Amino acid sequence: MELSARNQLAATVKSVRLGTITAEVVLELNGGQELVAAITRGSAEHLHLQPGDRAFALVKATELMVGIP
């Protein structure tokens, strides 16, 4: 699959928690950092997301905030 999105992060599905309408998907990036995505339950079921699956986080944003410690 090819996409025009440039912000693609390779990840592994760590967990999927299905709610009534949405699903919370925790992705572990290479290096151990985690991203949490809220997607529709239908999308999670359509993708058959399971812990251990390889996935990509695709970031589409009009604004990015940067902070310093």
Measuring CA to CA, which residue among 28, 22, 26, 49 is closest to residue 36?
A: 26
Q: What is the pLDDT of residue 46?
A: 97
| Predicted TM-score of the model (pTM) | 0.82
Residue-wise pLDDT for 14-55, tens only, equals 999 999 999 999 999 988 999 999 999 999 999 999 999 999
Tokens 């999308």: give the residue. 43
Q: What is the pLDDT of residue 41?
A: 97
Cα maximum dimension of the chain:
39
Q: What is the pLDDT of residue 38?
A: 93
DSSP 31: T
**Rounded Cα–Cα distance for residues 26 and 11 (Å):** 10
